[in-house]
Amino acid sequence: MTRSVVVAATQMACSDSVEENIANGEKLVRQAAAQGAQVILLQELFETPYFCKRHDAEYLALATSVEENPAIQHFRGVAEELGVVLPISFYERAGQARFNSLVVIDANGQVLPGVYRKSHIPDGPGYSEKFYFSPGDTGFRVWDTAHGRIGVAICWDQWFPETARSMVLAGAELLFFPTAIGSEPQDPTLDSRLHWQNTQRGHAAANLTPVIASNRIGRERDGEVELRFYGSSFIAGPDGQLCAEADQESETLLVQSFDLDKLAAQRAAWGLFRDRRPDLYTAIATLDGSHKSVG
């Protein structure tokens, strides 16, 4: 008997109403579950508009603990009712620190142990995340769920091959990336959409592990800064091919099935993990690329 799983990627626009955004996310989750999806991905920080467009200390008040967060508590009931696994992105407050975080809700509605805190924090025009988030201190995480062992990281993490490789080395059978990315306000001619997709498709191919990415859509303005989020959410197979892709503007749901046992056999047969040479990769653990010993 093989182990197969049906995954879903979603994309939607976000309003100023937390309740409305949670309801819209639930609508997409229910639609995905009706199509057989068992692990369903909602986008990064979907409770609100993307608030990192500029520095504004008032937005620091949006951070909550896991126990207080309305989306996490709401989707626990949805996950239990539908028997689905839901990674949920949220703005976390922990003591005096704030993180861009996520939890995984299992198919029984329980929040699985361990929060993941975004490791790589960008800082550029329109994406001023270092003002709002401390660098994550959890390391990369994977979760054993009712529907497979999954790795989940967040947005800027997806540009780093070390992120995907670390999760697969820890046993991830599927890789999920909730995202908020779009236009670059300092250069209207710059379009990172294909670069964004191709980088993650490379992670799938290099690790022989499917990648599921959910991005937001719509135009959002805060003061003088406006971003147009380019959607293009997608599911890539283990050789990096696009299995499903959304457009840049529509609220969308993508569904794809994978045979986890077949994927595991494929990874083993290729020998990519057998032939790794971690003894030669010490430069990766340094900032300047030197071959200093680690530890």
Active site residues: 44, 118, 155
Pick the closest to residue 272 from 158, 164, 200 (CA basis).
164
Cβ atoms 21, 10 nearer than 8 A: no
State how far Cα 254 lies from the chain centre. Answer: 15
CA distance 15 to 67: 23
The full DSSP string for 221-256 is EETTEEEEEE---EEE-TTS-EEEE--SSS-EEEEE
From residue 205, alpha-carbon distances to 160, 165, 270, 276 in Å are 14, 11, 11, 15
- Locate 187 and state its tokens: 């250069």
Number of H helices, E strands in the chain: 5, 16
Pick the closest to residue 222 from 87, 90, 116, 131 (CA basis).
131
